[in-house]
Amino acid sequence: MELVLKGFGEVVKTVTFRVRRYDPEKKEMPKYMEYKVPVQRGMTVLDGVLYIKEHLDPSLAARYSCRMGICGSCAMIINGKERLACQTQILELNKDLIKVDPLGNYDTVKDLVPDLNKLFKNHESVKPYIVREEAEPYGEYIQLPEEREKYALFTECIMCGACLSACPTMATDDLYLGPQALAQAYRYIADSRDAGFNERLNLLDSKHGVWRCHFAGACSEVCPKGVDPALAIQLLRGVLSKNVFIKYKQNPAKLGPERASIKEVL
Amino acid sequence: MRESKIMLLQYLTGLFILVLGTFHMLLLSVLAPTSNKVLYQYASTNHTLIGGTLYYSTVTAIYHTLLWGSIFELLLTFLVFHIFNGFRIILSEQFPGAKAEKVITYSMLILGLVIFIWGSRTIVLMLLQGGI
Ligand code: SF4
Ligand code: FES
């Protein structure tokens, strides 16, 4: 008998979930497995995945936390496009087959759980915080609303990692900083309180930084928060072009994807 | 050189190639040195080629002028930079890493120089009316 979950509407139809299964600890190739999920009104893809986990196959691994599009943990590729599983209504997809893959351009921890280390390391490397010249803050740093507007859009990032998964440069260049880190670098550079431009320059202006974006725009297309990293990258190009005659020593980038070496480079 | 400078040069050379390349192409039509602007002109009695924009001596005559010689030399310079820097970018995306970066950069530099010298030799020889 079909299980009906509490808190959702009536069962509308049964949908097949085709889920990519892969466990790097087992020496097996990735494979797709199919599960029949009764879809009730209001169910998201994450609910579908959890239904499978609870009632059909407890070995399926997925990552989630807030279930309301805030934490960014549940990003996955759903029917070929990066989306937050908790924000994707199954019925809105209007398909009888739902293909679920983990985010691309990352290693896989297990099944639908990508290893987001690359995302976090790249993010960390661009110094995602306000850099000041004085050692101790001296009080309140005033900022006008117009000054905040310059970077407000880019503060929306929830670090879901979807943009890196969609980015074609990321697929070929292991050392590329990626749309998320570049957008965050711009967010701080554009902040009137920040004085860290020179400290970030070496990394941004490296052979695997700002200039490697081919402006495919896939990052902006998939970003669930409308951050528009592609725009941030073009704005960064403008900033770098205006400062093209600043002299500094540029070290070659180290082989990635681990960016622990970035500290040395900076 | 800083990546920003290289990339700005990449964009600028792209733009110049578009402008100079247009002139290069216009040489076949509106700027053609021949009176009737046809590519090939044949004798009225038989099929002997006697003139036209692509006639060997018409082409070499263009190279004999300093203005066109300089335009071609500039076009060559921009093309060599744009093409080999483009290759450098593509290859360093495919093979990231400090060592690979060096190998790629120097190989492209050497290849670019060889092509540039070879192309310049052709242009200079033509300009000096010696032909190739
Ligand atoms: S920029 Fe958008 S897609 Fe990229 S990590 Fe942030 S929220 Fe996710
Ligand atoms: S579970 Fe937090 S964004 Fe989906």
Indicate which ligand has the atom closest to the C-alpha of A50.
Answer: 2
Please report the ipTM that was assigned to this predicted complex: 0.76
Report CA torsion sign: A218, B7, A233, B97.
positive
What ranges in B38-97 are assigned the alpha helix state H?
Answer: 56-64, 66-94
Predicted confidence (pLDDT) per residue in B33-62, tens digit: 777 778 888 888 888 888 888 888 888 888
Q: Residue B10 and residue A225: Cα distance in Å, rounded?
A: 33
DSSP H or E stretch at residue A84? strand A81-84
Q: How far is CA B70 from each of CA A68, B32, B65, B112, B117, rounded to the nearest angstrom?
A: 64, 17, 9, 19, 15
The CATH architecture one would assign to domain A11-114 is: Roll (3.10)
Q: Are A240 and B92 a contacting pair at CB < 8 A?
A: no
Q: List the beta bridge partners of residue A101.
A: A77
Smallest Cα distance from A209 to chain B, Å: 9
**Which residues, 6 or more positions from A227, have their beta carbon under 8 angstroms from its beta carbon?**
A153, A154, A156, A157, A163, A183, A220
Chain A residues within 8 Å of chain B (Cβ atoms): 169, 172-176, 205-212, 240-241, 243-244, 248, 250, 252-256
Q: Residue B103 and residue B108: Cα distance in Å, rounded?
A: 9
Domain boundaries, chain A: 11-114, 117-265
Q: Which two tokens stand for residue A183?
A: 């957008």
Domain boundaries, chain B: 3-127
Predicted confidence (pLDDT) per residue in A224-251, tens digit: 999 999 999 999 999 999 988 877 655 5
**Residue B132 pLDDT > 70:** no
Q: Are B3 and A206 a contacting pair at CB < 8 A?
A: yes
Q: CATH for A117-265, among 1.10.1060.10, 2.40.10.10, 3.40.228.10, 3.40.640.10?
A: 1.10.1060.10
Predicted confidence (pLDDT) per residue in A101-145, tens digit: 999 999 999 999 999 999 999 999 999 999 888 888 888 889 999
CATH fold of B3-127 reads 3 helical TM bundles of succinate and fumarate reductases (1.20.1300)
Q: How much is the pLDDT for B83?
A: 98
- pTM of the predicted protein model: 0.86
